[in-house]
């Protein structure tokens, strides 16, 4: 087995054109890339084209990626970009015919996998880079915690915790799409189905085509270098000319002053360089106000020129910041986002919308908040369509980012000035996310009250669930039991709710609460559930075991669950442990103790162990 890391292999190929190194990269990642491509284009034949395109891009960009420690993240992003282009040009007209039903899927694919698979890559793309890398390394690359720790440069315990949090956020993304899946099962489903073997011989085919596609690069690179050096020479010459003019004028002014004359006694134009004088004067003049309408048209052309090409990602990010600084949070920014959406530049649209959060961390945050306040309420809804089907309101998202960064002494006036009620609520969610460090109890209560008010926002219940991501240093200030008691009962929940409230929302709140609680104090979380059978369902033990498993090894999981009294709470805990301790000695004995036959069968399926007797214990 080749022990060299991805960066080492990339460097060997980039610097020495080592075909063996590139072949190892293809062998190592072909299954992951091909599986992602199949999910994205829904056609096994097109998936091969997409996969080849990804590795061609890898061969061309190898030199740029030698210092990229987590190659799998780049591969997933590139696969998604190329797949999107492929879908736009070749797949749409055939999509209705459902030709992709003959994909290389097992007839035994879990129903849960069939449900989430079409949405998996979009949900992954919505995660932060750190969360996405954690999920990809753990469940797509099958890296154990200690290997993840080396790659990420953190401890094994921190790596496990990062994976658990990332899975929670991934599940939240699914929930926004109406796909409810349990944390305990999601990890198992990903491990079992996310990466399937690519067709036999495909790696060799890809390797050959990629290497042949890049043989021309030496001469092309030399020509490009020559042109680049010529451009740099011209630029240096121009700058030198300007500096020479400046020094000349400074010397002229000094001579005039030494003779008792004012610096401008002799017109500079008479000394030559009148055009240069004019340029210097313009440079010193104050910048005129930005014409946002004019800048909008210029930026549209630049975005179209760059497009969603995977080799232009750095340029997209630079242009996104330029666009944010010029348009801030005005109507023109909304128009630009809509323009990108209409031209199917989804990656650019996503990059630009996220740049607004960056904007609120710069010195221009106050200006951005002012323009946000000035937007009419009708600007809130950007596109038509139901939630999850094209309906988006970026103004809500901006309000959240603005609330998170707004100075505390200015927040109430900012929130009151917003013309949109949902934006005002979103701003409150952002502020409460910031307050989680200083006063988590007040932040939770405030967000829960805002959710109960019934004012719809883009984040919806996400505005509350973000508060459950309590960091270790914040835990001492959090009373999880008090938080839980503020929620309605989970077992017999007959509390009437207004129609606008999501019936499943409080279940999601409690599920996340117990996951986070278990990461910090699993015993207290488990005891609280078992002590309140009149209001808490046994299924919450699955979340507790999931939270506990985020920082414990598999043997510890089995040992801890084995201490629970047999019954419905134990059954739920053992079924959850089956997902996290698969392949660990002792898991089969634990499963045999499950009393409920259906749960015992499900646990055995998750752990991939046979039942001694499926019908009796």
* Residue 284, H or E segment: helix 274-284
Helices (H), 455-539: 462-465, 480-485, 505-520, 522-530
User: What string of DSSP letters covers 32-72?
Assistant: HHHHHHHHHHS-HHHHHHHHHHHHHHHHHTGGGGTT-S-HH
pLDDT of residue 491: 57
> Are the C-beta atoms of 112 and 104 separated by less than 8 Å?
no
The tally of CA atoms less than 13 A away on the side-chain side of residue 500 is 9
Measuring CA to CA, which residue among 171, 189, 192 is closest to residue 180?
171
Average pLDDT over residues 587-612: 88
- Report phi then psi at 20, rounded to 5: -65, -40
- CA gyration radius, the chain: 29
- What is Dmax (Cα atoms) for the chain? 111
Residues 494-509 as b/e (b if ≥16 CB within 10 A, e otherwise) read: eeeeeeeeeeebbbbb
Q: What is the pLDDT of residues 530-579, one digit of tens each?
A: 999 888 989 899 889 988 887 778 889 999 999 999 999 999 999 999 98
The more confident residue out of 304 and 552 is 304
Count helices and strands (H / E) in the chain: 31, 0
> Are the C-beta atoms of 61 and 52 separated by less than 8 Å?
no
3-state DSSP call for residue 273?
coil
- Report phi then psi at 567, rounded to 5: 145, -165
User: What string of DSSP letters covers 147-169?
Assistant: HHHHHHTS-HHHHHHHHHHHHHH
Q: Extract the tokens encoding 533.
A: 């059978």
Q: What is the pLDDT of residues 12-35, one digit of tens each?
A: 888 777 888 888 888 889 988 988
Q: What is the pLDDT of residues 163-220, one digit of tens each?
A: 888 888 888 777 776 676 665 567 767 766 766 666 655 565 566 556 555 544 444 4
pLDDT of residue 182: 62
3-state DSSP call for residue 494?
coil
**From CA 592, how far away is CA 611, in angstroms rounded?**
7
**From CA 162, how far away is CA 159, in angstroms rounded?**
5
The chain-wide mean pLDDT, for the chain, equals 75
Query: With 70 as the cut, is the pLDDT of residue 330 above it?
Result: yes
From residue 362, alpha-carbon distances to 32, 33, 324, 463, 497 in Å are 38, 37, 11, 24, 41
> Are the C-beta atoms of 368 and 405 separated by less than 8 Å?
no
Query: With 90 as the cut, is the pLDDT of residue 524 above it?
Result: yes
From residue 545, alpha-carbon distances to 184, 448, 554, 576 in Å are 8, 26, 11, 6
């Amino acid at each position: 087995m080749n022990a060299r890391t991805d960066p080492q292999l990339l460097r060997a190929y980039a610097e020495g054109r080592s075909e063996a190194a590139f072949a190892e990269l293809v062998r190592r990642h072909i299954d992951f890339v091909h599986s992602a491509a199949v999910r994205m284009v829904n056609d096994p034949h097109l998936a091969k084209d997409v996969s080849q395109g990804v590795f061609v891009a890898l061969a061309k960009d190898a030199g740029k990626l030698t210092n990229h420690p987590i190659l799998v993240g780049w591969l997933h992003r590139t696969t998604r970009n190329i797949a999107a282009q492929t879908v736009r040009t070749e797949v749409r007209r055939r999509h209705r015919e459902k030709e992709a039903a003959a994909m290389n899927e097992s007839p035994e694919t879990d129903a849960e996998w069939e449900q989430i698979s079409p949405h998996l890559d979009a949900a992954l793309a919505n995660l932060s880079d750190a969360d996405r890398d954690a999920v990809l390394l753990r469940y797509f690359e099958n890296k154990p915690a200690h290997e993840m720790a080396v790659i990420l440069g953190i401890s094994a315990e921190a790596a496990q915790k990062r994976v658990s949090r990332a899975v929670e956020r991934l599940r939240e993304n699914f929930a926004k799409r109406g796909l409810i899946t349990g944390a305990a099962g999601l990890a198992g489903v990903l491990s079992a189905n996310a990466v399937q073997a690519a067709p036999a011989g495909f790696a060799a085919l890809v390797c050959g085509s990629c290497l042949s596609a890049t043989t021309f690069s030496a001469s092309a690179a030399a020509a490009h270098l020559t042109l680049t050096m010529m451009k740099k020479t011209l630029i240096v010459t121009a700058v030198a000319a300007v500096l020479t003019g400046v020094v000349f004028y400074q010397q002229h002014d000094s001579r005039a002053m030494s003779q008792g004359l004012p610096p401008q006694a002799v017109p500079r134009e008479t000394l030559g360089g009148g055009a240069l004088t004019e340029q210097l004067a313009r440079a010193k003049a104050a910048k005129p106000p930005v014409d946002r309408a004019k800048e909008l048209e210029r930026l549209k052309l630049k975005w179209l020129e760059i497009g969603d090409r995977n080799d232009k990602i750095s340029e997209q990010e630079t242009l996104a910041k330029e666009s944010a600084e010029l348009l801030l949070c005005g109507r023109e920014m909304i128009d630009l986002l809509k323009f990108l959406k209409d031209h199917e530049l989804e990656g650019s649209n996503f990059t630009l919308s996220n740049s607004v959060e960056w904007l609120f961390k710069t010195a221009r945050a106050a200006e951005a908040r002012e323009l946000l306040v000035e937007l009419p309420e009708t600007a809130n809804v950007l596109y038509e369509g139901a939630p999850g089907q094209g309906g988006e309101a970026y103004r809500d998202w901006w309000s959240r980012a603005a609330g998170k960064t707004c100075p505390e002494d200015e927040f109430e006036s900012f929130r009151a000035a917003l013309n949109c009620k949902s934006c005002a609520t979103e701003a409150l969610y952002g502020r409460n996310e910031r307050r989680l460090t200083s006063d988590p109890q007040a932040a939770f209560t405030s967000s829960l009250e805002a959710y109960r008010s019934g004012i719809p926002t883009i984040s919806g219940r996400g505005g509350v669930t973000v508060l459950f991501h309590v960091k270790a240093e914040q835990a001492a200030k959090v009373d999880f039991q008090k938080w839980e008691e503020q929620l309605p009962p989970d077992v017999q929940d007959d509390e009437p709710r207004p129609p606008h409230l999501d019936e499943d929302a409080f279940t999601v709140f409690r599920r996340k609460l117990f996951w986070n609680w278990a990461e910090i104090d699993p015993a207290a979380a488990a005891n609280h559930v078992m002590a309140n059978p009149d209001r808490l369902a046994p299924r919450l033990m699955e979340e507790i075991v999931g939270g506990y498993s985020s920082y414990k090894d598999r043997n510890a999981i089995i040992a801890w669950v084995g201490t629970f009294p047999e019954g419905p709470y134990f059954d739920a805990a053992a079924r959850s442990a089956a997902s996290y301790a698969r392949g660990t000695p002792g898991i089969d004995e634990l499963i045999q103790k499950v009393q409920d036959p259906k749960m015992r069968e499900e646990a055995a399926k998750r752990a991939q162990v046979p039942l001694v007797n499926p019908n009796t214990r």
